[in-house]
Amino acid sequence: MEISANFSRRVSRKLKQASVADQLLGPEFEDDLPPEPSFSCYSSDGEKKIRGIGKSHGVICTGNASALGTEKSTDWTCRPLPDEIKRPLRGLDTLSVSVNANNGARHDILLSSASVQRLRGAGNSQLSWLDDDTINGFIFLINERSRLYHGQDAAIHRSSGIQDPFNRTRVRTYIFGTHFFEILNRNTNGGYDNVAKWRRKVPGFNTVCVFMFPAFANSNHWVLAVVDVDGRQLIYYDPLCRDDTFNVMDCAVQWMEGEIRTAKGLDPFRGLDVSKWPILCNPWHLPQQSDIESCGIFVFFVAEHFERCVYPNFAQQDMPILRYRAVSILKQKFLPNSENDGRN
């Protein structure tokens, strides 16, 4: 199914607006900002840089890399691991990770020594990018945690009307695997039709409020697309705070339009009009990387915070801790809800 020409132009126009974020800097724009919702962004010297425009205006909010991460994170993910947990991770050579196949079957894969070294950070930028197997292992754990938290009998979801994804009651979340975007973005055989059956492998599809999928853009950089059905919005996250030049959000819209077109009965997509949803490109409150090898770690932990509905306030300086935290999570095959949850 081809994405509508009008909406494609709308996506392109909105994404281009991100490049003029500098026009939003300065006090002369303060009086034009709507009261709800609004955000503030500060640089390391405390000077206000950007205040996000209300989403109802359909304007994309972006930040700059120096404006984030000035406060130390208090979230459990960024707290140093105890020595008794961290010490065995240093010599870890391989890891077994649970993933879901395209047919919904669960199976374990073995992360090679090279994959584990990439996860820990090998010191060489090209040897520190996370591969598909590692990302898919994280995806399975996020999906499993959301499923267990909400239970199998969750009610069919109706929108809460709350557009701030980090300031609302925790909602059911599902992340598609790393090949979802690749298959959806193929130029042959019509994008949506290639993934139309993927909904069948989503447990309790009608109860899911937020869908996400990672994309390995240009075969060298992880980004994240968020389809927030609950908030009626789409969010694009590039840890390097660059515009979407990889067709990621066009694909997200194409998938949404396909689901809406085929929706029947009590399907939560029935009657939705995605053309009216704002597209947020790199909202200022999402952390930004300043190296070239940590994109996968940023994407995983931002997705993990999306699932918990908790603001991600980690930053580049937290990467060494987060890398060890990620190894620990995969080793235990368990993603906690909090620091005192279960095996963490």
- Going residue by residue through the chain, which has 344 residues, state the pLDDT in tens, using 9 for 90 and above: 444 444 444 444 444 433 333 332 233 323 332 233 333 332 223 333 333 323 332 334 444 333 333 444 567 787 777 676 666 676 677 777 766 655 556 667 777 777 787 787 765 555 678 889 889 999 999 999 998 898 865 666 667 677 788 888 899 999 999 999 999 998 655 689 899 989 888 888 888 999 999 999 988 999 999 999 989 999 999 999 999 999 999 999 999 999 998 887 777 788 889 989 999 999 988 999 999 889 999 999 999 999 999 999 899 999 988 998 998 888 888 898 876 665 54
- pLDDT at position 249: 96
What residue type is assigned to position 161 of the chain? G
Rounded to whole angstroms, how far apart are CA atoms 155 and 141?
A: 22
Q: How many CB atoms lie within 10 A of CB 105?
A: 9
Q: SS3 for 213?
A: strand
Q: What is the per-residue pLDDT for 331? A: 85
Sign of the Cα torsion 181, 238, 140, 128 reads positive
**Neighbouring C-beta atoms of residue 147, cutoff 10 Å:** 19
* Phi, psi angle pair for 274, to nearest 5°: -65, -20
Domains of the chain (ranges, CATH numbers): 5-332 (3.40.395.10)
| The pLDDT value given to residue 308 | 93
- Residue 3, strand partner residues: none
Q: Which helix (H) or strand (E) holds 195?
A: helix 191-195
**Cα(176)–Cα(199) distance, rounded to whole angstroms?**
10
Distance CA 115, CA 112 (A): 5
Our measurement of the distance from residue 127's CA atom to the centroid of its chain's CA atoms, rounded to an integer in Å, reads: 23
- pLDDT at position 254: 92
Closest CA to 175 of 325, 299, 336: 299
Quote the pLDDT of residue 300. Answer: 96
Give every CB contact of residue 230 below 8 A, 6+ residues apart in sequence. Answer: 157, 159, 160, 162, 165, 168, 171, 209, 210
Q: What is the pLDDT of residue 30?
A: 33
From the CB of residue 340, how many other CB atoms can be counted at a distance below 10 Å?
A: 8
Q: What's the rounded Cα separation, in Å, for the pair 202 and 184? A: 17
pLDDT of amino acid 87? 67
Q: Which helix (H) or strand (E) element contains residue 8?
A: helix 5-17
| Exposure string for 4-30, b = 16+ CB within 10 A, e = fewer | eeebeeebeebbebbeebeebeeeeee
In the prediction, which pLDDT does 124 show? Answer: 52
d(CA 26, CA 308): 34
